[in-house]
Amino acid sequence: MKTILDFINNTKTSAVSFRAPGHKGRQIRLDQSGYGEYYGNMLANDVQVPANGQDDEHVKALIKSTQGYYQDLYGVKHTELITKGAGYGVILSILTCVPGGGRIVMGRDSCNEAFNALRIGNIDPVYISPEFNEEYGTSDAVSVEAVRMACKANPDAAAVLVTSPNKYGMVADIRSIADAAHIFGKILIVDQTYGAHLKFFDAINGSKTAAEDHGADIVIEGIGKTLLGMAGTAIVNVCSDRVDLDKMADIQEMLNISDESYLALGSLDTNEKIVRRQGGNIIKSWMDDLMFAYTALDAIPRVTVIATKNLDPTAINISLARLGISGEKLYDALVAKSILPELVHGDYVLLRTGAGNCRKDYEALVAAIKQFASLGTATELRSAKKADFGLEYYKVPMAKTAVPLFKAGGKVAYDPITVYPPDTAVVCPGEILNADAIGYIVKALERGDKVVGVDDEGYIFVS
């Protein structure tokens, strides 16, 4: 029987990685910071603290100190360290801001943990759809108007949850969304899991995209997604007095386990020190490498790279569909060359860059795309359609049963069903499935699109 250790050993590779975690298992750019050697040897520091009281209190003090460093680094009121994934931070934030039995306005492109929080807190959602990008056939950011209308129509909603950047890198107009939410007395939670680097990109190029600087009340940052924390590391930044810190501490105490991953906490500590001391050089090199990659890819005929004004460039989305190469084939071809993408969404492959990538990674990517492009035959992109069926909402169910998709008409969805593209839940928990939604999902399955929420035998969970 294979073990977790077998999995870890099997994933040790010299491949070029464009998937999380952001450190890419490298020290290359980190050595000059003075912490590279320590970072590379961190596995030796995976320890447990004896439960003798004194040592435990000492570690709590160290954790509080690191929280303070992050608070200063991001310029926020308070920071919580997370070692259980950014999704845990989303759950913590929702349960802190929305009372049991309350209501929240949230995007249909929210992470699965956000939907789970609804069930944990017996919370009623008001779902809003992100915009749809017709040119690329993908989800864009949630619009200000969608948030404003939902807040106005639901005065009893306690909070708004927005994902920005979304999985493809689309950044929402957080300043305007924050203003809209606050006018109606709502707390704004921004799931910035894929944007922990934005604060530091802003510092280099003079922009303002980080949600902490645009009026968000809580921001969840996936440190392990794009920066130098280990997988599962994240922080929750509290930015305003609208958030009850005592309640957050209570929720954290209820959700927490007795043993922390001190290896993960150590990586959060190290990430903060590296970013503080050497972040400018690391981010500048990262930005220069991205400019090289986008320029080189743009020069390859009939290669499509997503480029919009509100795109975080660290998410590189490439399609060779105009050359007759599907997203799935491109993904497999890249993996065969030891280049590891994050995911496929329709005709596109997403490559998640991180602070640990270096120029040779981007050179390898460009060389591979040039080779693939020379072998393709001209064709057209397949079109993706916006999924909007006006589904009736009943209530998020607490119990579930499995039924075939084709027999699910009129039943209440237990889990979100998400189609890639556009990476937006076609059906959300608590919504009643209708023929249009089921037909859309069936056609996506027949096309070979990635569908999450339907098992291999065509069953889904309903109430």
- Of all residues in the chain, what percent carry a pLDDT higher than 90? 69
pLDDT at 449 over 50: yes
| Distance in angstroms (rounded) separating the CA atoms of residues 463 and 441 | 19
pLDDT for residue 256: 78
Which pLDDT belongs to residue 60?
75
- Which residue in this structure is represented by tokens 């108007």? 145
- Cβ-in-10-Å burial (0-12, 13-18, 19+) of 55 comes to exposed
CA-CA distance, 290 to 283, in Å (whole number)?
A: 10
The pLDDT value recorded for residue 224 is 94
pLDDT for the residue numbered 346: 83
* Full residue range of the structural domain in which residue 131 is found: 38-274
Would 25 be classed as within a structural domain?
A: no
Q: How confident is the model at residue 338 (pLDDT cuts 50, 70, 90)?
A: very high
- Which of 224, 254, 274 is where one domain is finished? 274
User: What average pLDDT does this structure show over 305-325?
Assistant: 94
Q: What is the pLDDT of residue 264?
A: 83
Residue-level pLDDT at 23: 67
The better pLDDT of the pair 192, 17 is held by: 192
Is residue 53 predicted with pLDDT exceeding 60? no
Q: Considering all CA atoms of the chain, what is the largest pairwise distance in Å, rounded to the nearest integer? A: 69
Specify the CATH number for the domain of residue 448.
Answer: 3.90.105.10
Q: Are residues 97 and 220 in the same domain?
A: yes
* Tokens describing residue 373: 């492009």
In-domain check, residue 303: yes
Average pLDDT taken over every residue of the chain: 88
Please give the average per-residue pLDDT across 258-278, as a whole number: 83
End-to-end CA distance of the chain: 35
Range of lowest pLDDT (2-6, 74-78, 81-85): 2-6
| Structural domain ending residue among the three candidates 223, 246, 274 | 274
For residues 81 and 211, membership in a common domain is answered with: yes
Least confident of 81-90, 253-262, 300-309, 415-424: 253-262
Greater model confidence, 49 or 307: 307
Let me know whether 105 and 212 are in one domain: yes
**Is 344 part of a structural domain of the chain?**
yes
CA nearest to 233, candidates 198, 280, 196, 259: 196
Quick one: pLDDT band at residue 392, thresholds 50, 70, 90? very high
Is 308 within the bounds of a domain?
yes
368 and 453 part of one domain: no
Residues 259 and 290 in one domain: no
Q: Which two tokens stand for residue 341?
A: 């993408």
439 pLDDT higher than 60: yes
Q: Which two tokens stand for residue 18?
A: 């464009």
Give residue 378's pLDDT: 56
For 110, phi then psi, to 5°, come to: -70, 160
Please tell me the total count of domains within the chain. 3
Give the number of C-alpha atoms closer than 13 A to the C-alpha of residue 294, restricted to the C-beta side.
18
- Residue of 374, 35, 345 whose CA lies nearest to 169: 345
Split at pLDDT 50, 70, 90, the class of 3 is very low
Which residues share a beta bridge with 424? 419
Residue 36: the pLDDT is 56
Q: Does residue 29 fall inside a structural domain? A: no
Residue type, 375: L
Work out the angle between the directed axes of helices 262-298 and 54-74 (0-180°, nearest 10).
Answer: 30
> Given this model, what pLDDT does residue 385 score?
62
Q: Does the residue 445 lie in any domain?
A: yes
CB 33 within 8 A of CB 280: no
Which pLDDT band holds residue 14 (cuts at 50, 70, 90)?
A: low
Asked whether residue 379 carries a pLDDT value surpassing 80, the answer given is: no
pTM across the whole model: 0.88
23 or 399, higher pLDDT: 399
Query: Do 105 and 152 meet the contact criterion of CB atoms below 8 Å apart?
Result: no
**Per-residue pLDDT band at 12 (split at 50, 70, 90):** low
The three-state secondary structure class of 131 is coil
User: What is the per-residue pLDDT for 4?
Assistant: 33
pLDDT band at 46; cut points 50, 70, 90: very low
**Co-location of 117 and 166 in the same domain:** yes
Burial of residue 385 (CB within 10 Å: 0-12, 13-18, 19+) is middle
pLDDT, one tens digit per residue, over 94-131 is: 999 999 999 999 999 999 999 999 999 999 999 999 99
Domain final residue pick, 274, 299, 319: 274
Estimate the crossing angle of helix 327-336 against helix 359-375, to 10 degrees. 130
Mean pLDDT, residues 423-441 taken together = 92
Average pLDDT, integer, range 46-68: 66
Q: What is the pLDDT of residue 17?
A: 78
- CATH code for the domain of 307: 3.90.1150.10
Of the listed ranges 133-142, 168-177, 375-384, the least confidently predicted one is 375-384
